[in-house]
Structure 1
Amino acid sequence: MASIDDDKIRRRLAPFLAEQKITEPRISTSQASSRIVVSVAPRGREILHLQEELIAALADLGDGVVVELAQSA
């Protein structure tokens, strides 16, 4: 699987995050076996379907995309 960097993920998600008014997401990626893990901290916003919508936004990257939501401190 080709390497996907944080900037590429950030660019891909930018329109969605702007629509949800999430202005300062924390996005990080890592490659463990053939999986890409994307962590997004919505800065205290509680959005019930955010995880599913983010997975849909990244669907063309393959089935190995995992989206984790993290609470901001």
Structure 2
Amino acid sequence: MKTLQILRSSQLRRTVLIAVIVGTLLTLVNEGGEMFLGVVTIGITLKIIFNYLTPLVVANLGWFFSQKGTSHD
């Protein structure tokens, strides 16, 4: 079951690392100005959350679809 393999610790560690790096860069570029000015609203907080969730989902989906046809099915 590929869906359960996403939760394997080695796979999850890689995708979380990708999400942390990419999410931090996206947050600094897109919301860094407001953050450094101290203007953090609910809207900005939601954007920051999505900055981290998006690469996490994309990395997991990329891995998931790359497994198609492998012996791990």
Fold-level similarity (TM above 0.5): no
Report the TM range for the smaller structure's normalisation: 0.3 to 0.5
TM-score (norm 1): 0.34
Which structure ranks higher in relative contact order (CA pairs < 8 Å, sequence separation ≥ 6)? Answer: 2
| Larger helix percent | 2
Query: Greater strand percent: which structure?
Result: 1
